[in-house]
């Protein structure tokens, strides 16, 4: 069962994503901030990260840079309330992005694509 | 080994090399060399550094200008024989020298870049020091700059090899020294590759060497000698496309297994002062005219390569006229895939004919891009390109099928 780490400072988003993604067959773990996130990834070894861009204490795009530098091929989906983040070049280090919604159809589609992306070793 | 070498300080080992390929660049190479030397002192001062001019036996004083400008950093001059032109030949001399000097980091800069600064050395060299195998630059570009990259080289390379490298055929880049063995062992060492095709050839090899690839944000446009985009278009198109198609069978076992694509690590995002690119004027009437002329010259060739559905679609596109012109990405993707597969079955002259017949279709696709994005910001046009890449990736099963 693929393990997904949801990083978001809004509790209702963490709950929504957890419930829906568990129902869709994924194992879900959550984090409410970017604090010690790299260590968490190292320990928990998720198959995919869903990362909020604007958190109270952290900029998701900076965290994305750190993730990409340390875990080169770990899929990351940016989750955001507004798509203005695309003006920031840092966002191109993400596999995909989704605009937050209560309908997770698009998110689930992007998760499936990110997990089936295949580069032979 | 280079046909000719001058190594006045008898350098036998180097940790980092900045190489500047050239042919008759006496006017510009001094500035590039000076900036590179400053960058080496400022950012790699604790390492043994060398500047290398890989030349095509220039007769305008390039060598003298290079040696006069290298400052405290030792310089080496390598040259091909007088009649042996092409950046690929220059780089072959460089690869052999890199192996000999057991160099860890190599940065290549084009001699005619007018706005190169010491920071470029850091941006292309530091990711290698931190573990990347290959670094491509991300210049700030106007939406109509580099149409061949936007329409073919980026989407096709990304779709084939699964890595999102936005400017994979840029002329300035960095690479890990150990990659030179892979470059020198490449079975593709064609005339096209030795000329305009060399940059995409190197990136393709690096992508298949399975080393981490980075993109480094330069933060400015690349300002270099003004070139007439039509002056060398036929040769440039043929050589770059020929190189891409020539590499496909070599790495077919890899790319047939690749599904979708992944991003790369980004470097150089710490200083986000971004210059605005200069506007690029596009002559849409001329593009349209060249597209239409393709029907007179290549209709029968197109019917042999592409199936009836594609050919009918092309006729439909022709009937739209300039005002409503639109070239669907789905059709474009199909054309490129079919052309790539057909190319493999042809002899040398037929291959050249096929690539020439693809050129008017490419110009039609560029025209369509210009029209679709004319009211878009650079950022929006960039998203448009990303969406086109998804169409390539979605249609890849067709390529895999016809390849078999």
- DSSP H/E element including B217: strand B213-217
Burial B253-290 (b: 16+ CB within 10 A, else e): ebbbebbbbbbbbbbbbeeeeeeebeeeebeeeebbeb
Q: Which of B254, B269, B379 shows the shortest C-beta gap to A65?
A: B269
Q: Virtual CA dihedral for B108, B110, B111, B112, nearest 10 degrees? A: -160
Searching chain A, which residue's CA lies closest to the CA of residue B213?
A72
Searching chain B, which residue's CA lies closest to the CA of residue A94?
B263
Q: Which residue has the tokens 């400008």?
A: B69
Task: Return the closest-CA partner of residue B338 out of B156, B200, B198.
Answer: B156
Give the count of Cβ contacts less than 8 A between chain A and B. Answer: 56
A84: confidence class by pLDDT, cuts 50, 70, 90: confident
Residue from A64, A119, A121 whose CB has the most chain B CBs within 10 Å, to mutate: A119
A27: β partners: A3
Q: Do A113 and B166 touch (CB under 8 A)?
A: no
Q: Which of B254, B265, B383 shows the shortest C-beta gap to A68?
A: B265
Q: Do A116 and B260 touch (CB under 8 A)?
A: yes
Task: Return the closest-CA partner of residue B230 out of B175, B169, B281.
Answer: B281
- DSSP H/E element including B369: helix B348-373
Lowest-confidence segment of A19-28, A53-62, B269-278 by average pLDDT = B269-278
> Rounded to whole angstroms, how far apart are CA atoms B41 and B313?
57
Per-residue confidence (pLDDT) for residue B1, from 0 to 100: 73
CA atoms in the 13 A half-sphere facing the CB of A81: 6
Question: What are the angstrom distances between the C-alpha of B220 and each of A100, B44, B114, B140, B384?
Answer: 33, 22, 12, 5, 21
Residues of B in contact with A120 (CB under 8 A): 254, 257-258
Average pLDDT over residues A19-35: 96
A104: confidence class by pLDDT, cuts 50, 70, 90: very high
Give, as one character, the DSSP assignment of residue B290. H
A84 and B CB contact within 8 Å: no
> Rounded to whole angstroms, how far apart are CA atoms B98 and B73?
16
Q: Do B383 and A86 touch (CB under 8 A)?
A: yes
- DSSP H/E element including B31: helix B29-43
State which residues of chain B have pLDDT below 50: none
> Rounded to whole angstroms, how far apart are CA atoms B11 and B16?
12
A69 and B CB contact within 8 Å: yes
A118 and B CB contact within 8 Å: yes
Q: Which of A72, A95, A121 shows the shortest C-beta gap to B265?
A: A72
Residues of A in contact with B259 (CB under 8 A): 116-118
CB B250 within 8 A of CB B333: no
In sequence order, the 6+-apart residues with CB closer than 8 A to the CB of B100 are none
CB B361 within 8 A of CB B294: yes
Per-residue confidence (pLDDT) for residue B271, from 0 to 100: 63
Question: What are the angstrom distances between the C-alpha of B68 and each of B33, B63, B119, B133, B401?
Answer: 9, 9, 22, 32, 56
Residue from A48, A66, A72, A77 whose CB has the most chain B CBs within 10 Å, to mutate: A72
Has the ipTM of the complex gone over 0.85?
Answer: yes
Task: Return the closest-CA partner of residue B394 out of A86, A93, A116.
Answer: A116
Per-residue confidence (pLDDT) for residue B375, from 0 to 100: 94
- In the β-sheet with A48-52, what is the strand arrangement from edge to edge? A27-31, A3-7, A48-52, A76-80, A96-99
CB B109 within 8 A of CB B20: yes
Q: Which of A68, A89, A119 shows the shortest C-beta gap to B162?
A: A119
Per-residue confidence (pLDDT) for residue B272, from 0 to 100: 61
- Chain B residues whose C-beta is within 8 A of a chain A C-beta are 130, 138, 162-164, 166, 210, 212, 215, 217, 254, 257-266, 269, 272, 379, 383
A86 and B CB contact within 8 Å: yes
Q: Domains in chain B, please, with CATH? A: 4-267 (3.90.550.10), 284-403 (no CATH)
Q: Do A95 and B262 touch (CB under 8 A)?
A: yes
Q: Do B266 and A89 touch (CB under 8 A)?
A: yes
Q: Domains in chain A, please, with CATH? A: 3-116 (3.40.50.2300)
- For the entire predicted model, the pTM comes to 0.95
């Amino acid at each position: 069962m693929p393990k997904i780490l949801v990083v978001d400072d809004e509790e209702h988003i963490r709950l929504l994503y957890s419930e829906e993604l568990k129902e869709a067959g994924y194992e879900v773990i959550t984090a409410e901030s970017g604090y010690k996130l790299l260590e968490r990834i190292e320990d928990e070894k998720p198959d995919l990260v869903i990362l909020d861009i604007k958190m109270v204490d952290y900029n998701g795009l900076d965290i994305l840079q750190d993730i990409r530098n340390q875990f080169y091929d770990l899929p990351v989906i940016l989750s955001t309330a507004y798509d203005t983040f695309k003006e920031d070049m840092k966002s191109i280090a993400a596999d995909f992005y989704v605009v937050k919604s209560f309908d997770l159809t698009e998110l689930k589609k992007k998760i499936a694509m990110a997990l089936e992306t295949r580069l032979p070793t | 080994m280079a046909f000719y070498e001058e190594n006045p300080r008898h350098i036998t080992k180097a940790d980092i090399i900045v190489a500047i390929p050239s042919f008759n660049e006496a006017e510009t190479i001094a500035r590039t060399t000076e900036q590179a030397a400053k960058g080496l002192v400022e950012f790699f001062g604790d390492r043994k550094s060398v500047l290398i001019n890989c030349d095509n036996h220039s007769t305008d004083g390039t060598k003298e200008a290079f040696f006069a400008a290298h400052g405290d950093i030792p310089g080496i001059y390598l040259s091909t024989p007088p009649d042996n032109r092409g950046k690929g030949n220059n780089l072959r001399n460089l690869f052999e020298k890199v192996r000999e000097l057991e160099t860890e980091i190599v940065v290549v800069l084009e001699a005619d870049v007018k706005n190169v600064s010491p920071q470029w050395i850091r941006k292309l060299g530091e990711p290698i020091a931190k573990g990347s195998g290959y670094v491509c630059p991300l210049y700030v570009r106007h939406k109509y700059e580099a149409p061949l990259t936007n329409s073919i080289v980026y989407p096709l390379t990304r779709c084939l090899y699964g890595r999102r490298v936005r400017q994979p055929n840029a002329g300035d880049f960095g690479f890990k020294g150990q990659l030179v063995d892979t470059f020198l062992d490449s079975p593709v060492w064609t005339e096209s590759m030795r000329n305009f095709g060399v940059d995409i050839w190197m990136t393709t090899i690096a992508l298949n060497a399975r080393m981490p690839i980075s993109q480094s944000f330069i933060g400015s446009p690349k300002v270099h000698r003004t070139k007439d985009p039509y002056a060398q278009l036929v040769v440039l198109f043929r050589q770059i496309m020929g190189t891409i198609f020539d590499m496909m069978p070599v790495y077919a076992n890899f790319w047939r297994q690749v599904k979708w694509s992944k991003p790369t690590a980004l470097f150089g995002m710490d200083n986000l002062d971004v210059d605005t690119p200069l506007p690029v004027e596009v002559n849409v009437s001329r593009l349209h005219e060249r597209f239409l002329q393709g029907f007179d010259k290549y209709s029968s060739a197109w019917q042999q390569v592409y199936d009836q559905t594609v050919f009918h679609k092309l006729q439909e596109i022709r009937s739209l006229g300039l005002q409503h012109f639109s070239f669907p990405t789905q059709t474009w993707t199909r054309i490129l895939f079919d052309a790539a597969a057909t190319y493999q079955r042809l002899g040398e002259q037929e291959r050249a004919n096929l690539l020439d017949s693809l050129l008017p279709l490419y110009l039609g696709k560029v025209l369509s891009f210009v029209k679709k994005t004319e009211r878009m910001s650079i950022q929006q046009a960039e998203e448009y390109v990303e969406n086109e890449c998804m169409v390539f990736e979605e249609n890849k099963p067709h390529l895999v099928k016809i390849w078999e």
